[in-house]
Structure 1
């Protein structure tokens, strides 16, 4: 999947605009594309291919911030007729700006506004505009309960109205939000293959065998994801049901009273808990403790995005006490260095897949092989 050869003529000259929030990931993506194209087109007689061999495809861009907090997007080179890909991480809270002498951390709202500024700076001169937003903006506010806003749908419609042709994200909280933009391309990719590959490489004790391991969904919303993992790995699947107190609302949500387990016996088995993200980590901690009470062996957690909004002190404690052995998470959103340095954390690099996605779309090839990694996963399990 990640080694596919590109042979078609490009739709337009490739240009990648990397927002400040995504510099590290963007550099890796650019390096992969440069390396791939130099290898594939070095002996090509096609003038189109030879023109596409460059040392970098990143467009020099900047967000200029004024002292009162206002800003503007600026492009330092021409993008006329190019196939543009804007890469931004709306979850990167390490990016700051100065406002009236105070240093402020950028919120998802600030990052999304910058994306729109960059699109505005393009001013219709690009041939196509694609957004690669690994962490989908406002993805947790995808549906309406009572009198609430529909933030994710509104944001997607804004991008559509600005002329964006395709929106790419990873492990969207609810993929049906694409119904808000039926005439615009929307794809949600998954990190399943890369995570399983990392698990197979990092921990020799992991055995993807039905008698040795189970997949657990932390709630009903993540059940489809857990079923996919279980199906391709040939494992049993279990579910934790969240009993909530619907009489109360704390921090905008009904508090969880208890996690109820439904599934086969977990005693003596390794457990793989899969979800799209870890926010505070509360649910994972409660589930890990319940599974250990049922005499589960080793507990692994696999997610696309890791936040730990309340810090990692509790995670450190749960690791030291043997509740959780390893957390596998991607570099699709900002990961603080202290997370990376922790013994329990294993970062899964997704830059090669993103580079292949950009190459594939730029050459107007089908992205279906990238979306479906079942055969690749089965080859790992078979080995």
Structure 2
């Protein structure tokens, strides 16, 4: 605390991020405890998210933000948030969560000293580029936040980081949970063999190759790749269906496999890869992912775990996880609240976060 803060810190954790916001606040209280009595009882700013009976809404701040360094937390993937509309219960989608971010910025009325949006799952991150006559949703959303006066945007494992080119004058930070995931992985797995002759990292497609290469480099392992051969003549669920996964890499017989990806949606790709690896006589199959969405439920994961095709799935709490997922024997939750609290602490003191974003050294120390 030798550095002077940019401004008094304030955290606005929207309904979608309440649980994570409370954990972050607790860690910040510990970090800033200096016995001077200057640390507030909480950094959280009370808000009220109001919905009218026809679905319209507004956000009301319960206290002033004048001169404060404000951090807005929002999980646009939290589908558990509901409200009453025309007498029925409606689940909030990404569009409504993003609208609430804009409502918060509007409610502040330009009185905050600096506004930072922490959106772990980047809004419309999967619609980051145009192919033919289609919308550029992610780029438009970032530009909208810039026009509203947002100074910084922090997100995790963005589908394509090049989308930040849409806002070249805005501070956009793409963070990765690699260190926290590997720390949890090493702590939880007793029968772990991190050795080039006994373990291999797997990229589920060409798009995830850079991510898998990073894991393999810090763990000192070889890498394998699955190429998704798709049927480009039709579109199902917004994407071309996969015909077959073609494997490129060394023999995996008797080896453990760590499959790396940015997100699990329905899980079909993971299931196909697990079956292909088991056909090649792989021993154990672990999955490490930043976001576990489980868009089609977890019944297949329970089935595959019961059949011994998947041993464990590691994912962060950066987006909503149902209680049934957290309690599943095959799932391990990676808590990112302390990491986010440290990031916010550094940024508020105008310190460089480079030591926190370079995980290679810390992972080497763990190993």
Query: Into which bin does the TM-score normalised by the smaller protein fall?
Result: over 0.9
Matches for 1:3-18 after TM superposition, within 5 Å = 6-18=1-13
Match of 1:119 among 92, 105, 115: 105
Partner of 2:26: 31
Q: Is 1:287 the counterpart of 2:280 in the alignment?
A: no
Q: Is 1:380 the counterpart of 2:366 in the alignment?
A: yes
Partner of 1:224: 210
TM-score for the superposition, normalised by structure 2? 0.99
Per-residue deviation, 1:7: 3.2
Partner of 1:55: 41
Partner of 2:331: 345
Partner of 1:130: 116
Q: Distance in 2 between matches of 1:128 and 1:289?
A: 50
**Secondary structure of 1:302's aligned partner:** strand
Match of 2:319 among 333, 343, 363: 333
Q: Distance in 1 between matches of 2:259 and 2:35?
A: 45
Per-residue deviation, 1:42: 2.5
Matches for 1:70-109 after TM superposition, within 5 Å = 70-109=56-95
Q: Distance in 2 between matches of 1:248 and 1:97?
A: 36
Q: Distance in 2 between matches of 1:208 and 1:158?
A: 45
Per-residue deviation, 1:326: 0.3
**Secondary structure of 2:32's aligned partner:** helix
Matches for 1:105-184 after TM superposition, within 5 Å = 105-184=91-170
Partner of 2:232: 246
- Gap regions ≥5 residues in structure 2: none
Q: Distance in 2 between matches of 1:157 and 1:207?
A: 46
Partner of 1:207: 193
CA deviations over 1:321-342 (Å, ceiling 9, x no partner): 0010000000000000000110
CA deviations over 1:48-72 (Å, ceiling 9, x no partner): xx53x12100011111111111111
Size of the aligned set, in residue pairs, is: 367
Q: Distance in 2 between matches of 1:76 and 1:308?
A: 35
**Secondary structure of 2:59's aligned partner:** strand
Q: Distance in 2 between matches of 1:141 and 1:208?
A: 36
Q: Distance in 2 between matches of 1:251 and 1:61?
A: 36
TM-score for the superposition, normalised by structure 1? 0.95
CA deviations over 1:306-362 (Å, ceiling 9, x no partner): 011111111101000001000000000000000011000000000000000111110
Q: Is 1:68 the counterpart of 2:54 in the alignment?
A: yes
**Secondary structure of 2:110's aligned partner:** coil
**Secondary structure of 1:23's aligned partner:** helix
- Gap regions ≥5 residues in structure 1: 1-5, 44-49
**Secondary structure of 2:172's aligned partner:** strand
Partner of 1:303: 289
Per-residue deviation, 1:244: 0.7
Q: Distance in 2 between matches of 1:149 and 1:208?
A: 44
Per-residue deviation, 1:247: 1.2
Q: Distance in 2 between matches of 1:230 and 1:37?
A: 36
Q: Distance in 2 between matches of 1:270 and 1:57?
A: 44
Per-residue deviation, 1:204: 1.0
- Deviating above 6 A after TM superposition, structure 1's stretches of 4 or more consecutive aligned residues are none
